[in-house]
Structure 1
Amino acid sequence: MDHLTPGATIKRRLQIANGTDEAHNIQLYPSAASIEDNAFSAAAGNTPNVLTEWTSVSQPALELQPGASVEVLVTVNVPADAPEGENYAVVWAEAHPSSQTGQGIVNASRVGIRMYLSVGPGNGPPADFSVNSMTPSRDLDGIPNLTALVTNTGGRALDISGSLMLEKGPAGLSAGPFPLDKGVTIAPGESAPVRTSLSLEIPSGPWQATFTVKSGLITHESTATIVFPDAGQGPAVKADNSGDTVILIAAFSIGAVLVLLIAFLWWRHRRKARLMQLS
């Protein structure tokens, strides 16, 4: 994620590597992206938006021999009259076997790296978030779940990850850590539920639940005392956010390094063209 003032330029290097035993033609291009339903969503093909119009790739097309790698430069030129706000895109690396011939279905593999760009004066708004509440529940199979409601209180989009730890349970039991569901992206000012599924053997409680929620270089710990219901959804419990907060002072920039693992992608997509989901 980067923040730039209007008129500024940034350059980022991507590394593309061919780990297969055949040559591949690689196409590199930016495409539009957005945050929809609390998920980062990349548009198909080279769909344009304002960020893709500012973005160029030094080598849009290249051929890589088996075992070869190359670095390409991605440049973002923000115009002087650019409006303030957050912009999203993805840089795709699309691979085709050089030996592929004939008509009909064309095998292709794509992998991409996300671009988050904030435009405005100064250093831009900081990223931050809070955990508002925790809601225990059980699904139709009786498996306990715990959902945290996370609000983006900063000015940057958040990619949420983390874990849940249960402590001070019946007879002093502890359980976890349990990973949070992945793929939740929260736009500035928005809230989203972040869930984790537990084991069927987990007693109902009460438990001291501690969510360790992360986004990039920011980590918050939030706690609450919860009891899993016998069925359905229990009441939401307000989270205590007075635990430790860790903010590491560093910057992760768009496209720092991209390694295209064509061997893996080709195995995944050799039957027909498929879009590899962003991680």
Structure 2
Amino acid sequence: MTAAVVVLAGSVAHAPTAAATADSSTDTGYVGFRLLEAPVVRHDDPRALKYIVDHLKPGTVISRRFEVANKSNTGREVQLYSGAARIKHNRFVFAEGNRPNELTRWTRVRPSIVRLKPWEKAEAKVTIRVPDAARPGERYAVVWAQSEAAPDAEHNVGSIMRVGTRVYLDISNSGEYADFRISKIIALRDKKGVPSIVAHVHNTGKRALDLRGKFSLSDGPGGLSAGARPVTEGTTLPPGGWGTVRVDGLDKSLPAGPWTARMELESGMVRHSLSVRLTFPKPGGSSVYDIVMSSDRRLWAAGAGIMLAVSAASMSFVRYRRRRAARNRT
């Protein structure tokens, strides 16, 4: 009997629902996967350190080196290949096996097989050749390392183990554009009285977003503050898409408020925040909030202030010219 196991370590393909390592109690070990390089222009982009993220013109060729490691006491044969992926219901999902799509047909992984001794590592390279006639748009795939372990005297169940990294490839002759907007924050309490937070987000750009961030409460009753909590990761918004991120695990004894709530989200190098004044509802309800300030509004306010200043200066200059012309006529 053989069981399929998707083990996600290092550069993950789908982190929200799978364990990070294999079950050590079986002593079968696992396969490690790690990207070894990223584009120089993306050295400040945390996504590019985990995933293959790039923006290319048609006809471009790129390559990335990666490392595969045998984290076990037995030798392993590891297959290296690319497989199709897509964004479905605001989740990055991958196809079974090496099912192809347009991006995988542009992708080659060499070598295709590595044979590793116990605890040995090996390097490989993935190359992507974008055709000259490639249409604009973003494509998705996964670069996989797959190892099969057959049943033996100690393990009556074999396993198929896959680890890998996501590929986000945007094709366009113009510049890259990624952005999003936090539209609202809602406070909830379930029927048992446990509070949680839901933020609604709109992807206003042309790149997929992997949202992460933190949420904090301050200026509560009696000046109370609550420490920052991370949002639940796993939300991937397609270009133009709408979705939500959640913050769970808040203390049931948290006072109703009012509080100043601040949501800070990021995807790669794009970061935005939204602060609202909210009150947690009674069990089974949701809150109404008032916006205090968002990063988008601060930018808008700064731009509006500059426009008003320029307008005022222009009007003063026009009045000065008119007065001078009147004096000259006199």
Question: Which range, TM-score by smaller chain?
Answer: 0.7 to 0.9
Q: 1:188 to 1:238 in 2, by over 3 A?
A: farther
Letter in 2 for 1:155: K
Letter in 2 for 1:181: T
1:153 deviates by: 1.1
1:182 deviates by: 1.1
2:294 is matched with: 241
1:96 deviates by: 2.3
2:55 is matched with: 3
Could you say what secondary structure the match of 2:276 adopts?
strand
Distance 1:154 1:19 in 2: 40
1:127 is matched with: 178
- Is the 2:279–2:289 Cα contact (8 Å) retained in structure 1? no
Does 210-219 or 160-169 show the bigger shift? 210-219
Q: Which runs of 5+ in 2 are unaligned?
A: 1-52, 300-330
1:109 is matched with: 161
2:114 is matched with: 62
Distance 1:188 1:135 in 2: 23
Percent identity (aligned): 39
Match among 217, 221, 224 for residue 273 of structure 2: 221
Match among 92, 102, 106 for residue 50 of structure 1: 102
Q: Between Structure 1 and Structure 2, which shows a larger proportion of helix residues?
A: 2
Q: Does 1:186 align with 2:237?
A: yes
Letter in 2 for 1:136: A
Q: 1:238 to 1:194 in 2, by over 3 A?
A: farther
1:236 deviates by: 4.7
Match among 175, 179, 187 for residue 136 of structure 1: 187
Distance 1:242 1:52 in 2: 38
Q: Which has the larger radius of gyration?
A: 2
Q: Matched residue pairs, number? A: 242
2:323 is matched with: none
Letter in 1 for 2:217: L
1:157 is matched with: 208
1:170 is matched with: 221
Distance 2:142 2:190 in 1: 35
2:147 is matched with: 95
Instruction: Show structure 1 runs of 4+ deviating over 4 A.
Output: 99-102
Distance 1:218 1:116 in 2: 16
Q: Does 1:204 align with 2:252?
A: no
2:129 is matched with: 77
1:220 deviates by: 1.5
Distance 2:288 2:128 in 1: 44
Q: How does 1:8-19 map to 2 (within 5 A)?
A: 8-19=60-71
CA deviations over 1:17-48 (Å, ceiling 9, x no partner): 11211101101111111111111011111111
1:258 is matched with: none
Q: 1:193 to 1:67 in 2, by over 3 A?
A: same
- Aligned-residue CA RMSD (Å): 1.9
CA deviations over 1:78-137 (Å, ceiling 9, x no partner): 11111110100011111124x7679x964121112000000110333x211110001111
1:218 deviates by: 2.1
Distance 1:228 1:178 in 2: 17
- Is the 1:18–1:64 Cα contact (8 Å) retained in structure 2? yes
Letter in 2 for 1:168: D
- Is the 1:133–1:236 Cα contact (8 Å) retained in structure 2? no
Distance 2:164 2:262 in 1: 33
1:210 deviates by: 0.4
Could you say what secondary structure the match of 1:116 adopts?
strand
Could you say what secondary structure the match of 2:178 adopts?
coil
Distance 2:282 2:101 in 1: 49
